[in-house]
């Protein structure tokens, strides 16, 4: 299947509108930190003909497909194999210390969900892999088969917000002693059997939260987001804008905290005049998180959990000017 037919970029027009004021000038650089199949990147290059794009992805398969899609734009697009928290090193290497726009579309790409053998989706049987970059790191099967029970409970509670974590982990530990886990269907079945009837009646597939938790652990997603969002804010030139799409409350909370801190004054209480060094560095572009429209969710069910936040850089850091 071609990348165009299976990939519908989430909240695309809203992201373009949010970044537009920063990308109109010739020479503007926009970074797509989560290239995926290149839907957002293609739209950015089309909408802003004077802009250059730097796009990052940790998945070599995504880079190859997106590279074919973006080939018509020639040297306006620079694609880099990197995790998004490596943004400062990437910009340094490319000699681009400041950029005018940054976009994050966090979560799993359509391709990773759609390719059965990647093991991201609980709806079809596949090897329990879940690595976004299959050339490195541990798989979901490794996590299930080797982590201590207490650590597994922590992961399911923290990353999957799974209330039945203890019950699921007890079943996992019992089963892995008989035979290590290799495939997703066995895990899905185990979760169904482990949960009480009441827990199965709400919230869609009962395996959803466990699969989310394993994916976040395998790819170190929250730690990457925690490093990447402040780094991206720091890379923005004054007047530059950042837009971030999150798909679960843990990511959205991290984004909210970074933006709120940047938009707050750091002055001690009671100063009659706030000196420049204490002034906010960011202006928020969204009131809370914006949600996709009902029409968009009807067309693209993967947009349903999306939350969009945006901010504009309105002044330099003190340390940047020192």
Cα separation, 57 vs 298, whole angstroms? 28
Q: For residue 49, what are its two tokens?
A: 């003909």
Other beta carbons within 10 angstroms of residue 298's beta carbon come to: 11
Residues flagged as binding site: 38-40, 57, 84, 105, 112
Q: For residue 50, what are its two tokens?
A: 């004077």
Give φ, ψ of 55 to 5 degrees.
-125, 135
* Distant-in-sequence, close-in-space partners of 223: CB < 8 Å, separation ≥ 6: 85
Other beta carbons within 10 angstroms of residue 123's beta carbon come to: 14
Q: How many CA atoms lie within 13 A of 172 on its CB side?
A: 30
DSSP letter at 81 equals: E
Helix-strand-coil split of the chain, %, nearest 5: 50, 15, 35
Contact between 227 and 83 (Cβ < 8 Å) = no
Residues flagged as binding site for S-adenosyl-L-methionine: 38-40, 57, 84, 105, 112
Q: Are strands 77-81 and 52-57 parallel, antiparallel or unpaired?
A: parallel
């Amino acid at each position: 299947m071609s990348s165009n037919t299976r990939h519908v970029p989430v909240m695309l027009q809203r992201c373009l509108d949010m970044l537009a004021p920063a990308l109109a000038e010739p020479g503007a650089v926009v970074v797509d930190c989560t290239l995926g199949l290149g839907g957002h990147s293609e739209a950015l290059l089309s909408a802003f003909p004077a802009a250059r794009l730097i796009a990052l992805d940790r998945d070599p398969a995504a880079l190859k497909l997106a590279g074919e899609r973006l080939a018509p734009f020639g040297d306006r697009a620079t694609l880099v194999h990197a995790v998004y928290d490596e943004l400062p090193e990437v910009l340094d290497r490319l000699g681009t210390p400041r950029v005018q726009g940054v976009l994050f579309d966090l979560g799993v790409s359509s391709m990773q969900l759609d390719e059965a053998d990647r093991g991201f989706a609980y709806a079809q049987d596949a090897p329990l892999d879940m690595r976004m970059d299959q050339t490195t790191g541990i798989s979901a099967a490794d996590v299930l088969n080797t982590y201590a029970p207490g650590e597994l409970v922590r992961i399911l509670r923290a990353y999957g917000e799974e209330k039945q974590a203890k019950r699921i982990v007890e079943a996992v530990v019992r089963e892995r002693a008989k035979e290590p886990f290799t495939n997703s269907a066995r895990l899905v079945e185990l979760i169904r059997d482990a949960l009480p009837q009441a827990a199965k009646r709400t919230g869609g597939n009962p395996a959803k939260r466990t699969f989310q938790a394993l994916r976040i652990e395998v790819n170190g997603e929250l730690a990457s987001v925690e490093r990447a969002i402040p780094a991206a804010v720091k890379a923005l030139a004054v007047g530059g804008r950042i837009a971030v799409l999150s798909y679960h409350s843990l990511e959205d909370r991290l984004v909210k905290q970074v933006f709120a801190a940047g938009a707050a004054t750091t002055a001690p209480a009671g100063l009659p005049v706030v000196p420049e060094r204490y002034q906010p560095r960011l202006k928020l572009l969204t009131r809370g998180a914006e949600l996709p429209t009902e029409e968009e969710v009807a067309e693209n069910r993967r947009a349903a959990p999306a939350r969009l936040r945006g901010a504009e850089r309105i002044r330099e850091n003190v340390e940047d000017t020192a």
